[in-house]
Amino acid sequence: MSRVTILTIGSRGDIEPCLALGKGLRDAGWRVSIATLTAFQADVLEHGFAFASLGDLPDRFRNHRGATFYGVVGRTLFWAVYQRLLASYLPSFLAACEGADLVIYSGLAFPAYHVAEALGIPCASLAFVPNAATGAFMNPLYADRRLSRGRITNQATFYIEQNLMVQSTAHLINRWRQRVLRLPAVPRRRLVAHRWERSTVVLLGVSEAVVARPADWDPRVHLTGYFFLDDARAGYEPDPALAAFLANGPVPIYVGFGSMTSEQGSPLAVTVIEALRQLGMRGVLARGWGGLEVGRGDVPPHIHVVDAVPHDWLFARVKLAVHHGGAGTTAAALRAGLPSVVVPFNYDQRYWGRLLAERGLGPEPIAPVDLQVEPLVRAVREIEDTPAYALRIRPIAAALSAENGVKAAVALLDRFKDPLVAST
């Protein structure tokens, strides 16, 4: 049986698509190991995969409140911070991949392609945003008030991000290559090219129904469709209190900011609760990592607070979503046919919020600093008063429901079961 190791570092939005891909690979006959942060060990084991720890995410990094990691300044800050974390993660990479016939890595686990080189096995890059270089739009981590600033500027944002990643970590990576992997150092001028040369296939877990494939992408780059975990479809049973709340009253809206943290967690919750009161609406509020902090004694009757509920189950039972614009949450809302109010905190979230607005699928995003009662009430009312949003989302929802991104990705990866292909 062919063995594959999937490596990922990040939040729940990073691990869940990898679990979905792992399930698809296992069903296709692969033996799957997942290497990720210790915080997600229970999730990996619960889904029946072998687990390897890459380390922990310190609270000071997870709770980097107030910092924004998008744009040139933000990305420079991010890589300055992340290289310190990477030094603690690197020692675990080789052991996590030993015995594998294929390595798949997402985002911040990018050193895995060096391990694949050392082991002489193929390597697949995985992302959940359209982050392959193109002139069609800006790197999602650099999106601002527009998705595109012209071909030259668009391409420059990818060039900048790629170089920030490999140049800021080059001293760590090259020392590790020489001392642990027994590989020569990569000259700085070749760092970006070397990564591309070691990418056997690039999988982007995004749907062409949402992002059209640019004409200038290399044939190795594949838009597979989203990787939905769909745990609820395996028989999810909600908490009785949530089930009762949903059953006894008008259809609520969903409010949640995922793994985002905020210095204003409690005030944001107060804002959301008051906005829903003024709208005369009920709401399901998801706590996340602190974007919304609600005490049990502070919950009025029109609000129900949850910690974690599968989006595929909950989004079928609400009428719109207010969220941070994470790739997975945005995709889940679109598949459920829900218009969204996006409040982008960080990373690629401004890209998704801007994409929805530019395509006429929802109102303008609300910056977290502007998330007051009046702007939120206005945005929700705009959705209520603009049925065209839901009408435009409807064919996208149908397309997302019909496609299977995991199946498409597995079909591309299955060719590495062939030893003749795997050895090239």
CATH number for the domain spanning 393: value is 3.40.50.2000
Bridge partners (DSSP) of residue 223 are 204
Same domain, 302 and 408: no
- Going residue by residue through the chain, which has 424 residues, state the pLDDT in tens, using 9 for 90 and above: 899 999 999 888 899 999 999 999 999 999 999 999 999 999 999 999 999 999 997 765 555 555 577 678 888 888 888 888 999 999 999 999 999 999 999 989 999 999 999 999 999 999 999 999 999 999 999 988 899 999 999 999 999 999 999 999 999 999 999 999 999 999 999 999 999 999 899 999 999 999 999 999 999 999 999 999 986 566 788 999 999 999 999 999 999 987 655 555 578 889 999 999 999 999 999 986 555 666 666 689 999 999 888 999 999 999 999 999 999 999 999 999 999 999 998 889 999 999 999 999 999 999 988 999 999 999 999 999 999 999 999 999 999 999 999 999 999 999 998 554 444 4
**Does 116 share its domain with 202?**
yes
Cβ atoms within 10 Å, residue 391: 12
- Please tell me whether residues 9 and 107 are part of one structural domain: yes
207 to 271, 362, 419: CA distances (angstroms)? 34, 18, 30
Domains in the chain, number: 2
Do 95 and 150 lie in one domain? The reply is yes
CA–CA separation, 306 and 355 (whole Å):
28
Chain CA centroid to CA 265, Å: 21
Give yes or no: residues 100 and 116 share one domain: yes
For residues 77 and 94, membership in a common domain is answered with yes
Contact 161, 142 (CB under 8 A): yes
Q: Do 140 and 43 share a domain, yes or no?
A: yes
Instruction: Looking at the structure, tell me whether residues 167 and 40 fall in a common domain.
Output: yes
On whether the CB atoms of residues 172 and 87 are closer than 8 A, the answer is yes
* 408 & 334 share domain: no
Cα–Cα dist 299/273, whole Å: 8
Q: Are residues 244 and 340 in the same domain?
A: yes
Domain containing 353: what range? 231-402
pTM > 0.85: yes or no: yes
Q: Is residue 38 located within the same domain as residue 150? A: yes
Do 216 and 288 lie in a common domain? no
